[in-house]
Amino acid sequence: MDIYFLGTGAGVPAKERNVSSVALQLLEERKAVWLFDCGEATQHQILHTSIKPRKIEKIFITHLHGDHIFGLPGLLGSRSFQGGETPLTVYGPPGIKEYVETSLRLSCTRVKYELIFKEIESDGLLFEDETFQVFVSKLEHGIPSYGYRVVEKDLPGMLLVDQLKKLNIPPGPVYKQLKDGKTVTLEDGRTIRGKEFLGPPKKGRIIAVLGDTRACHARFELAKDADVLIHEATFAKDEEKLAYDYYHSTTEQAAYLAKEAEVKVLLLTHISSRYQGEESERRLLSEAKEIFENTFVARDFFQMEVQRRESDIS
């Protein structure tokens, strides 16, 4: 599992930063990529990475401002042209379905795969399968804007192979059944319960991706105990009034949330074009680090692996 920033700017494209898009690569976990927002030229950014559009399985849109959605119709069309055949689901606020379908219809773009839309109706559980849950909550912005909490389900512990060998159970297909926690009857009549030969389960990872928002309480439940919090920092800390007026956040506000929610890593994105150059970036980073040390200011193509937690479930 790793995070790949395709665009880290706010509002309009700038020389140093394209507009918003983040890829969550789940190649080991499900051989897929999940995208969060798809600003203008996202598919151009992808060309500079190893990401394959046909691997994109889900796209989560935080809100319908153009810097978060103008790249979506083009990407969906190109995915079809480039051999994408598997279904793709787009999640987002009401209106995302109309926006995409209208854009594709008027441009006479036909996609060859099943395109599914799930418009957000309320806060809570948005998606769940055997490996992941995704929760969504409404934030505080000028238009409906949402944050997503991606929760990897806890993984089974390691199979205690040494103990099985001591019982003269040789490696083979039976190990797979025991690893899955099943009860197996051996050829000699012994019954072996897989759950008794598993180590402690491994804690799943948690990623919180917040859309544009003022500082508000709704952010806390999304961010609580996250391994990685991706939070907008459109403005520096001395622009708190401006941030409030434009329904955005400052570096300081993002850092305080990371500290209070006890996250592991804070990644700042959605940086205003007024902050260009290394000096400006150092300033933003310094402001956040004063409050929450483990902070990074993401740049386009910044990549981070999300490490598994060191300790097992107690």
How is residue 74 written in tokens? 């083009």
The span from the CA of 84 to the CA of 78, in Å, is 9
The DSSP bridge partners found for residue 235 are 250
Ramachandran assignment for 168, one of left (phi > 0), alpha (psi -120 to 50 degrees), beta (any other): left
CA pair distance 96, 91, nearest whole angstrom: 8
Q: Considering 2, 37, 67, 245, which one is annotated as catalytic? A: 67
Tokens of 279: 């000096």
Q: Positive or negative, the Cα torsion across 25, 30, 32, 34?
A: negative
Look up 67 and say whether it is catalytic.
Answer: yes
Residues 6+ apart with CB under 8 A from 105: none
Closest listed residue to residue 39, CA positions, set 57, 15, 65: 65
291 half-sphere exposure, CB direction, 13 A CA radius: 20
Q: Any idea which residues carry the catalytic annotation?
A: 67
